[in-house]
Amino acid sequence: MKRLGNIMFQGLVAMLPALLTLYILFWLVSSAETVLGGMLKVLLPAGWYIPGMGILAGLVVTFLFGLALNAFLVRRLLDLGEKLADNIPLIKNLYGSLKDFIGFFAKQKESQFNQVVTIDLEFGGKPMRMIGFVTRSDFSGLPEGIGTDGEIAVYLPLSYQIGGCTVIVPRSSVTPVNISTHRAMGFVVTGGMTADKGQNANTSP
């Protein structure tokens, strides 16, 4: 029975990411069809609506919103909305965490953001290392005191939650790690249980 339970658990672990991904995609598609499709049914003449037009409208709206972000007025309105959200405690924490988390993956195309490093620390007299991601190596254009030449900004994500902290440290205090950002993030987020997609980290502590 124990072996049977282990096999069932392994199957669940392998299937769960795919099932969750499919569920999220299905939810997004069905939501777009329900909300935007319902609006189109009201706006269009009777008989004009075709199933699937809500999804198409969602794609068009997303594309147009991306184009609108380049407009100065739209950016000012978004900045104003973010400032208002910062004054509401619960919304501030939720929106800020989600924005940072999504922005993390959106910025992975930047070459410096693909650098994974470790920072040497000491806890209880024992040496330890934290995995981080270099987010900035040039502080020009920022207010004085944030960072100087020879320093870099490193983002330290937390395991099993959305969040982390950014530290400014000397470049010499970090050690580059030859690992992809996706693999390193998976390792950190799962508390070291996963080293890669579908591969468990079997290294001894």
- The 10s digit of each residue's pLDDT in 39-66 is 888 888 877 888 888 888 888 887 777 7
199 has a pLDDT exceeding 50: no
Tokens representing 174 are: 């970090």
Cα 78 from Cα 70, distance rounded (Å):
11
Q: 3-state DSSP call for residue 36?
A: helix
- pLDDT of the residue at 127: 86
Cα 62 from Cα 174, distance rounded (Å):
39
Would the pTM count as exceeding 0.75?
no
Average pLDDT over residues 139-165: 83
Q: 79-83, 88-92, 109-113, 146-150: which range is least confident on average?
A: 109-113
90 has a pLDDT exceeding 60: yes
106 has a pLDDT exceeding 60: no
111 has a pLDDT exceeding 70: no
Question: With bands split at pLDDT 50, 70 and 90, how would you rate the model's confidence at 117?
Answer: very high
**Which phi and psi (to 5°) does residue 5 adopt?**
-65, -40
